[in-house]
Structure 1
Amino acid sequence: MNRAAWMLAAGLILVIAIPLTLGGRGLGAQLRQFPLDTFLLMLGMIVVCWNLNAGRLRLLLAGRGGHLGQRRALGMVMATEFAISATPGGSGGPLTLMGLLSRQGVRPAQATAVFAVDQITDMLFFLSALASIGLYTLSHTIDLRLGWMLAVPALLLIIGFGLLIALGRHHRGLLRSSGHLLRWLKVHHRSRIRLTRAVIHFRHALVETLALPRLTLSLIFLLCCAHWLLRYSILYLAVSGLGRDIDWSWTFIVQMLSLAAGQLTLLPGGAGGAELSSTALLTPMIGASSAAAAVVIWRAVTFYFYLIAGAPVFFIMAGGSMLDLLLNRRAKVS
């Protein structure tokens, strides 16, 4: 097995092993008592999320690359989500989406612009959600520990938006500065020209995507909101299904912080970091065994299900060659 495969195997083990270790003897009983209909509802919510993202992808493409039906768009989304879950830091997701869009006839610059606008929409949702939860916290006097949990990610999102706006307004100066830097690094002239052209093509495609009708952009944002609200309700349903009371805003923040912490492990799906941080944040509110059980159920739905359902779709649409490329790209570069 190569290094990437070992990392995926380690991630699969840690997702279950850490909650089992932290949950204690009461974990098994908690899992056995979890309602089956609630678990099936959660899986159905993920399927709805995939379809919402498929609709968002179709709207973002706006006919570029020819007709894209809902079924094929759904396959692209499921394959991309599988790649995100199977590769360290989710690095395989963008590469998979770019490859599938290129097979659809979408130019690389257009595919990159679609992905960029998709990410910008996500950032806008999370910034709006954090602001809404902050106002809700102030009006309902929820635990003030939410303060720093809201402030840190909100500040990072604001900084990110500021950088994006600055890059958009000063792209010409950026190109000149990067050109000087590449020349200083002794990058070949033709390579510098190709890179500059790629950046210019990307900017044009980005402007074209952002120039979609306001109604279309509004619908894209609404689909984005619906997707994340459903996705970030999974942990709340897991806790509620165990018979524990918790505020939805708490579970939203727990998932944001835990998934961010998981990226630091550099394991597929953020394995290890996501389980440790989410269990630690939930334990003071619902107890160790309930917290561990909720995390097991949450990760089963948002990690294992993504791998199990997405793997066959990935191999049908992308093929084993693309998976080999994702898992071995470092070796090929060297």
Structure 2
Amino acid sequence: MKRLLWLLPCLLIALLIPFLLGGSDMWQRLASFPSQLLLAMLGMILLCWLLNAMRLRLLLAERARQLGRIKSIGVVMATEFAICATPGGTGGPLTLMALLARNGIRPARSSALFAIDQLNDLLFFFCAFAGILLYGLFHRLTPNLENMLGLSAVLLLAGFAAIIALARYHRALIRGSGHLLARLKVRRARRIHLARKLLHFRDALRDSLNLPRRRLALIFLLTSAHWGLRFSVLYLALYGLGADIQWAWTFLIQMLALSAGQLSLLPGGVGGTELTSAALLAPLVGKSTAAAAILIWRAITYYFYLLAGGPAFLLLAGRPFLRRLMRLRGG
């Protein structure tokens, strides 16, 4: 648990960024923010957890019986907590695999489910960005918005190119990793064990992709509903502060800010996310409004995930697994 203490200065620094940006005017804007809207935004996050739990059960198919409805929500909350508490969200798949394994679901299957989940996310972002690009073609854009569109296009195309290359050349990747491990003097038995795990993962991924099309379509609809709600938080924060900005531009700002935050190698992208969103949002709505909106947005979509997901993580995974997760992250 001592490794968690170093997170506190990082979180405090991230909180200071909006305060330094907005100054005293930010407090006035926060005081006038509608409390009903804030409660509605918290309710949206609860609905996001429910949608993700439904998505998890659909991906598990007949194995969903091994995971109760209430427990599936807890698994989602614990996994989201691990994603927010570790750099790059690396603790998310480890937590999901560990919790599902306790309910009789093999790691190869759970890792394949996580991969399918990420593919659905990427497909949603691609579709949403295509819609925003079409919207931008028929509207006059500032140079700042044009740069955001260009950078977003590069990120999405790079992600799709990496997935296509991985799918096409996965056999060469497995062989290449075996040669690399041999050069690193990893024992042959260990190399065979790792190769079998990769093959089990490939087979589980293929089985998941062979689910009925109607089920896959429903999973994608749940994915779209989840991200649509979560990426509306910043827009609603700005709306409650009286700012006039299109939802499409808040979507791009969040997408770029969260991507930049991952490069900071800090849990939840703290610091990098706040700085990037401030740089993109302040020219559009002003410093004080941008600072207040960023503080509300991060409180709802990051700090609330830690506060609510932490107890769920400790209840389902326990402190020993949390300590092991922190050691893996720190090592």
Structure-1-length-normalised TM-score: 0.94
CA contact (8 A) 1:30 1:293 kept: yes
Evaluate the alpha carbon distance shift between residue 290 and residue 95 of structure 1 in structure 2; reply closer, same or farther with a 3 A threshold.
Answer: same
2:24 maps to amino acid: R
What is the distance in 1 between the residues matched to 2:329 and 2:225? 36
Secondary structure of 1:204's counterpart equals helix
- Which residue of 2 is the match for residue 307 of structure 1? 306
What is the distance in 1 between the residues matched to 2:170 and 2:285? 50
How many angstroms does 1:260 deviate by?
1.2
What is the distance in 2 between the residues matched to 1:61 and 1:148? 40
What is the distance in 2 between the residues matched to 1:282 and 1:163? 30
Secondary structure of 1:140's counterpart equals coil
What is the distance in 2 between the residues matched to 1:56 and 1:133? 25
- Which residue of 2 is the match for residue 13 of structure 1? 12
Evaluate the alpha carbon distance shift between residue 72 and residue 187 of structure 1 in structure 2; reply closer, same or farther with a 3 A threshold.
Answer: same
What is the distance in 2 between the residues matched to 1:107 and 1:270? 30
How many angstroms does 1:275 deviate by?
1.0
2:171 maps to amino acid: R
How many angstroms does 1:323 deviate by?
1.1
- Which residue of 2 is the match for residue 216 of structure 1? 215
- Which residue of 2 is the match for residue 151 of structure 1? 150
What is the distance in 1 between the residues matched to 2:86 and 2:178? 32
Q: Does 1:42 align with 2:45?
A: no
After TM superposition, the structure 1 stretch with the greater mean CA deviation from structure 2, 201-210 or 137-146, is 137-146
How many angstroms does 1:144 deviate by?
4.8
- Which residue of 2 is the match for residue 95 of structure 1? 94
- Which residue of 2 is the match for residue 293 of structure 1? 292
CA contact (8 A) 1:50 1:78 kept: yes
Identity of aligned residues (%): 56
What is the distance in 2 between the residues matched to 1:238 and 1:251? 10
How many angstroms does 1:330 deviate by?
5.2
How many angstroms does 1:43 deviate by?
0.3
What is the distance in 2 between the residues matched to 1:277 and 1:252? 13
CA contact (8 A) 1:11 1:269 kept: no
What is the distance in 2 between the residues matched to 1:121 and 1:295? 27
Secondary structure of 2:44's counterpart equals helix
CA contact (8 A) 2:87 2:329 kept: no
CA contact (8 A) 2:87 2:267 kept: yes
2:270 maps to amino acid: A
- Which residue of 1 is the match for residue 323 of structure 2? 324
The aligned length equals: 331
Evaluate the alpha carbon distance shift between residue 263 and residue 159 of structure 1 in structure 2; reply closer, same or farther with a 3 A threshold.
Answer: closer
- Structure 1, unmatched stretches of 5+, are none
Alignment of 1:42-61 (within 5 A): 42-61=41-60
Structure-2-length-normalised TM-score: 0.95
How many angstroms does 1:315 deviate by?
1.0
How many angstroms does 1:325 deviate by?
1.1
1:47 maps to amino acid: L
Evaluate the alpha carbon distance shift between residue 216 and residue 65 of structure 1 in structure 2; reply closer, same or farther with a 3 A threshold.
Answer: closer
How many angstroms does 1:65 deviate by?
6.3
How many angstroms does 1:82 deviate by?
1.1
What is the distance in 2 between the residues matched to 1:162 and 1:266? 23
Alignment of 1:1-334 (within 5 A): 2=2, 4-64=3-63, 66-329=65-328
CA contact (8 A) 2:57 2:72 kept: yes
After TM superposition, the structure 1 stretch with the greater mean CA deviation from structure 2, 273-282 or 59-68, is 59-68
2:197 maps to amino acid: A
1:145 maps to amino acid: N
What is the distance in 2 between the residues matched to 1:288 and 1:34? 16
Q: CA-atom RMSD, angstroms? A: 1.6
How many angstroms does 1:207 deviate by?
0.3
CA contact (8 A) 1:100 1:318 kept: yes
Evaluate the alpha carbon distance shift between residue 113 and residue 106 of structure 1 in structure 2; reply closer, same or farther with a 3 A threshold.
Answer: same
How many angstroms does 1:118 deviate by?
0.4
What is the distance in 1 between the residues matched to 2:244 and 2:61? 43
CA contact (8 A) 1:100 1:317 kept: yes
- Structure 2, unmatched stretches of 5+, are none
Q: Deviations over 1:169-191 (max 9, x none)?
A: 33333322322232233221111
How many angstroms does 1:96 deviate by?
0.9
After TM superposition, the structure 1 stretch with the greater mean CA deviation from structure 2, 35-44 or 303-312, is 303-312
How many angstroms does 1:159 deviate by?
2.9
What is the distance in 1 between the residues matched to 2:74 and 2:82? 12
What is the distance in 1 between the residues matched to 2:329 and 2:246? 43
What is the distance in 1 between the residues matched to 2:215 and 2:12? 42
Secondary structure of 1:62's counterpart equals helix
1:100 maps to amino acid: L
Evaluate the alpha carbon distance shift between residue 86 and residue 179 of structure 1 in structure 2; reply closer, same or farther with a 3 A threshold.
Answer: closer
What is the distance in 2 between the residues matched to 1:122 and 1:183? 35
How many angstroms does 1:219 deviate by?
0.4
1:226 maps to amino acid: A
Evaluate the alpha carbon distance shift between residue 255 and residue 290 of structure 1 in structure 2; reply closer, same or farther with a 3 A threshold.
Answer: same
What is the distance in 1 between the residues matched to 2:41 and 2:113? 28
CA contact (8 A) 1:85 1:269 kept: yes
